[in-house]
Structure formats: C-alpha cells, structure tokens
Amino acid sequence: MDEQSSGSNKLNWKWIGITLLLYLVFYPSPMLLAHYLLAPKAAEIFIGTWLFAGIIIIGAVTGYLSEGVTLWEPAIAAGGFIALFIIVGIITSAILGGGPKGLTFFQSVVQLIAIIVIFFVFSLFGAWIGERAQKLWRPKSSQRN
C-alpha cells in the first residue's frame, strides 16, 4: 500500500508543464495552418474536428510518453491552458472594446466554466487512452513503478 501511495498519488509537475507547453504549441498550430492553407470549407471542417480531437490527442500523447501513470497531469494542464486562453481573451477584448453582447456576467462565467470542464474531461480521457497504449505497446522493461 505504501508503494502505491508514494508514487501514483502525487502530481508530477514536470509533466503538467510539458503538457501545457504541448497545448500551447500543438493545439492552435494545426488550426492556424488549416485556416491559411486549406480551402475555406475544408479548413472549417478540420478546425471543428481539431477543437475536440486535439485535446484528446495531445492528452494521449502525454499519457503515452510519460513514465508511469500520468492521468491528472494532462487534464490539469488542459484546464490551465484554456483558463490562460480565456484570460488573454478577456484582456484583449477589454483593450479592444469587444466582448460577448447580450450575455449577463453569470451566463458568461457559466460558459467559461463549462469550457474548462470540457477541456479537463477530454484531456483526462486522452491521457487514459495514452496510458492504455503505453501499457499495450511499450516493453515492460522501459516502465518504472
């Protein structure tokens, strides 16, 4: 019991940071490339798909590449990424004078919280897929307990 609690219940902050970096680089990049390189309809379809699939894929890559069990780290990083993205959006819209029209403050906050939860859950699912893949495809000798 001590072995389990010492290794598997602690958050690995290194992997939270790595995953946050992966989200910062690899989540918006394909959408920007699609916007500029694909036909408008194809770009729209790709971006719509990547909005959800990208969260899962990046979480899965992190779960697969990390040593040991890394489930919560990608989810926390995804929540942090979207929170950072929302904060930058709020600051930008305050500077530029934009923002959602016709929404109350409460409605806006509820929507923002829902987005953070969606990112968290999708990334958690992706990390679980990555951990399953790691267990199936990596040789036993490369895993550490």
pTM recorded for the entire structure: 0.82
The domain limits of the chain are 2-142
**CA–CA distances in Å: residue 31 to residues 18, 66, 68:** 21, 26, 31
pLDDT along the chain (145 residues), means of 10: 48 94 96 95 96 96 91 94 87 74 75 90 96 87 50
Q: Where are the alpha helices (DSSP H) in 8-104?
A: 13-26, 28-37, 40-65, 72-96
Structure tokens at 77: 């990083």
Predicted confidence at residue 107, as pLDDT, reads: 78
Radius of gyration (C-alpha) of the chain in whole angstroms? 18
With 0-12 / 13-18 / 19 or more C-beta atoms within 10 angstroms meaning exposed / middle / buried, residue 71 is buried
